[in-house]
Amino acid sequence: MNQAISPPEKIAVLANPNIPEALAIADQVSEFFNDQGVEAQAGSLYDEALRHKVSNQTFDLLIALGGDGTMLRAGHLCAPVDIPLLGINVGHFGFLVEVKNADWPDILPKLLNGDFRYEERMMLFARCIREGKEDVDFDVINDVVVARGQYVRPIEVEAILNGAHIASYVADGLIAATATGSTAYALAAGGPILPPEVRNILLMPVAPHLSMDRAVVLSEGSAVCIRVRTQHEAVVSIDGQEPVHLANDDCVHVTAHKKSLHMVRFQDPYYFYRNLTAYMEHNPLISIKTDE
């Protein structure tokens, strides 16, 4: 990086306990920092005592060990309290993860020298309106997905922008995504890939039937209401979490969040484009079996 910034002084190193080697590596990372005189504490991402410390801003950096799913869960924990996030990849996919598992001993000393930068990722704020009443709020890193439930039937979804109707879809669902989420479900649905630093809301229908099948990119200041028209089940899911059931005429309001997710980056701002082709052509989730 061109300009050194203040290194962290207290670090939480939280691992996905469902990945066998993650906890062991977390202990090694914590030991490395402690040996350098930097206070670090390792543990499970689901440890309530450690999560409470993060929420109380005991730490000034959270290092998450896992894959992109782990990064999302860690981001939901640290973004609301303005704690930056750094990922070490011990999972499968790694659009969000900065450091490869084998590289952390060489990369992490840069933290102590202030040789890194913060990348600001826009988040969304979503509010469910069920039966005409404000019901539940969500912080969103990737996407808001309003979709059909267990019945394999499309639903009608109306998109209302700043109070004005812009489109209706008969589809499996409608995604409202951040730039971060543009490489997740929205990409699988055929949407465009947005650079990580842009602050836009991406609307992308899922399997539209005789409806508009193009993505719509909205400005940061947009307020979108996604209204459901259905006689059967519909749901809303935030960042792939447990769905919330919706009924006919229920809606989800989506706006830009006041908070952003700050991610630690050691690479230059063009890393995203260099890595993109590699991820697209060599998806680690795909295993090819051959007869030998």
Q: How many helices (H) and strands (E) does the chain have?
A: 7, 17
DSSP state letters, 138-164:
EEESSEEEEEE-SSS--EEEEEEETTE
How far apart are the C-alpha atoms of 128 and 117, rounded to whole Å?
35
What is the gyration radius of the CA atoms in the chain, in angstroms?
20
The reply to whether 68 belongs to the active site is yes
Task: List the catalytic residue out of 27, 35, 60, 68.
Answer: 68
CB neighbours of residue 265 within 10 Å? 17
**Where does the chain show beta strands of DSSP type E?**
10-15, 39-44, 61-66, 85-89, 99-100, 117-130, 133-140, 143-148, 155-161, 164-171, 173-177, 200-206, 216-219, 223-229, 234-238, 244-246, 251-265
Sign of CA dihedral 164, 169, 173, 174: negative
Cα–Cα distance measured from residue 187 to residue 191, given in angstroms and rounded to the nearest whole number: 5
- Pairwise CA distance, residues 99 & 109, whole Å: 12
Amino acid occupying residue 134: E
Helix ranges restricted to H, 178-244: 185-188
Q: State phi, psi for 268 to the nearest 5 degrees.
A: -75, 165
Q: What angle do CA 236, 242, 248 make, to 5 degrees?
A: 30
- Enumerate the active-site residues: 68
